[in-house]
Amino acid sequence: MNPTIALAGNDVATRETLVTRRTGRECLVLTLVALGIVASMAALVSYEETISQQLKPGDIFVPDLVKSRFYYAVYGIELVLFTAAGLTNPDFGLPTIFMDPRRAMVSVRLNLGK
């Protein structure tokens, strides 16, 4: 017997196992994204510290703000991690949106885009 889900009063049969396991590549992508977010937060904290040290009261913008080497190192690591996560994604390069060509031709013919 399959479990059922009630949608709008109608019972819909589902597969027995709703839990799916992540593949190794998906776990790698999630790990890289999580590490990228940690690096992003470290860069933000470093930038906030630099602003608090170099910004004078009443200043809105400091054109000669000097960031630390730590900021640039963490920012570079952040860029590398997010790029690697995007390139190792199992869906990289695959289209994510499908449009039926027949519907596209009807909308062009009837000028529904305007």
Evaluate whether 47 touches 67 at the Cβ level (below 8 Å).
yes
Residue 106 in domain: no
Residue 50 in domain: yes
Evaluate whether 29 touches 43 at the Cβ level (below 8 Å).
no
Residue with the larger pLDDT of the pair 53 and 91: 53
Residue numbers of the domain that contains 59: 22-91
Q: What is the pTM of this model?
A: 0.63
User: Of 39, 38, 113, which Cα lies nearest the Cα of 73?
Assistant: 39
Span 61-67, mean pLDDT? 84
Distance CA 85, CA 26 (A): 9
Residue 1 in domain: no
Count: domains in the chain: 1
Residue 35 in domain: yes
pLDDT grade for 94, boundaries at 50, 70 and 90 = confident
